[in-house]
Structure 1
Amino acid sequence: MKNILIFASGSGTNAENIILHFNKTKTAKVVAVFSNNPNAKVLERAKNLNVEHFVFSKEELSSEIVLNKVNEFQPDLIVLAGFLWKFPQNIIEAYPNKIINIHPALLPKYGGKGMYGMHVHKAILENKEPETGITIHYVNEHYDEGEFIAQEKVSITDCLSAEEIAAKVHELEQEYFPQVIEKLLKISKV
């Protein structure tokens, strides 16, 4: 069975959805959730689903500590599900084409440093975009610039607030993120 390791910083709804998906399908297993935030709800979700979790500091992430801990779990795929820090080069180099991220917009638009969560949705609303979506991509040394794996779109012409946009994007994340992960685990790159 293939091993998935999740990095998350916040509430963890995507992480929980991925864990539940693979608990049901048994095609892979989420072996651990790593977080930079000791108060993140994702840690509670992981605990409730009997998934190991690990909390680390910025210093530990940029040292060998987190890489060594990652290696202990032997992940076939590392999934960033709402992880807000720049991912360290040493882990990227150790796991080439095995680290993916989900972004709440149609990259290359609305990507880069500082473009996450409601910041993205507010910018999309202010620019009166007719549609938005999600982008699942490989992680490289630059924010949101890795090779695209999948994009899904949704019309937002009826949305009057960033929160309404966020709700539509969240539906896409919940539906497609586990499916894309499952497909990736079946192809030769992973």
Structure 2
Amino acid sequence: MNLGILASHRGTNFQAIIDACNEGILNAKITVAISNNSNALALGRAKEAGIPAFHLSGNTHPGPNELDSAILETLTSHDVDLVVLVGYLKKLGTRTLAHFDHRIVNIHPALLPSYGGKGMFGTKIHQAVLDNKESETGITMHYVDGEYDTGDIIAQVRVPVSQSDTVSTLENKILQHEHQFLIATLNQLIN
């Protein structure tokens, strides 16, 4: 199965997918990577792995329809079967969503529907979990629709929150589980 990856920043989950493909753990090939951020480390990870990488954003394509068309064309021209969002912080356009209906997935570092939506990413999620004195948090893989974090849930894993957790320790706890959960869930979708 051919994967297209969309990422906005570091791309640690992207690297986990690269490694799983290279090690034969994931029966897939990454055929393209796209970022809305020209400085994203994810683009460097793609280039280092020999994966075609593109910066597509409002800067490169000022109109939303133009950007949607560029993303769709890039994905289809690289024969993508499944689109995987790993820390991609933008909504996808209607043409891309329609073409890849139920073939776009996102990983989110919380137990959706809690702590999802616009602006809920990274440390903001973990701070909110701590502020609300939650006893657990987790990770969700879901299908992508036209809103932030509202698509059908595919799988979740729960992670306990301790009273001594800080934003940093909670972020590290999530990250320890995230890569394995991501690869295991992708394997279920692919097989």
TM-score range, shorter chain: over 0.9
| Contact in 2 for aligned 1:35/1:43 (Cα 8 Å) | yes
Q: Deviations over 1:89-127 (max 9, x none)?
A: 110101111000011100010011110111101100111
1:35 aligned onto 2:30: no
1:55 corresponds to which residue?
55
| Contact in 1 for aligned 2:142/2:155 (Cα 8 Å) | yes
Task: Call closer, same or farther: CA 1:165–1:19 in 2, change over 3 Å.
Answer: same
2:152 corresponds to which residue?
147
Name the aligned partner's letter for residue 110 of structure 1.
Y
1:170 aligned onto 2:170: no
1:130 aligned onto 2:129: no
1:99 corresponds to which residue?
104
| Contact in 2 for aligned 1:11/1:41 (Cα 8 Å) | yes
| Contact in 2 for aligned 1:5/1:75 (Cα 8 Å) | yes
Q: Look up the SS of the partner of 2:156 in the other structure.
A: strand
1:21 corresponds to which residue?
20
Measure the CA separation in 2 of the matches of 1:75 and 1:65.
Answer: 14
Q: Look up the SS of the partner of 1:145 in the other structure.
A: coil
Cα offset for 1:8? 0.0
TM-score scaled by structure 1?
0.93
Q: Deviations over 1:142-177 (max 9, x none)?
A: 111100000001111154311111111111111110
1:4 corresponds to which residue?
3
Measure the CA separation in 1 of the matches of 2:92 and 2:71.
Answer: 11
Aligned-CA RMSD value = 1.3
TM-score scaled by structure 2?
0.93
Unaligned residue ranges in structure 2 (runs of 5+): none
Which deviates more from structure 2 when the two are superposed, residues 21-30 or residues 79-88?
Answer: 21-30
Q: Look up the SS of the partner of 2:23 in the other structure.
A: helix
Q: Look up the SS of the partner of 1:97 in the other structure.
A: coil
Unaligned residue ranges in structure 1 (runs of 5+): none
Cα offset for 1:74? 1.5
Cα offset for 1:179? 1.3
Cα offset for 1:133? 0.5
1:108 corresponds to which residue?
113
Equivalent residues, number: 185
Q: Look up the SS of the partner of 2:157 in the other structure.
A: strand
Q: Look up the SS of the partner of 1:50 in the other structure.
A: coil
Which deviates more from structure 2 when the two are superposed, residues 157-166 or residues 80-89?
Answer: 157-166
Q: Look up the SS of the partner of 2:179 in the other structure.
A: helix
Cα offset for 1:24? 1.1
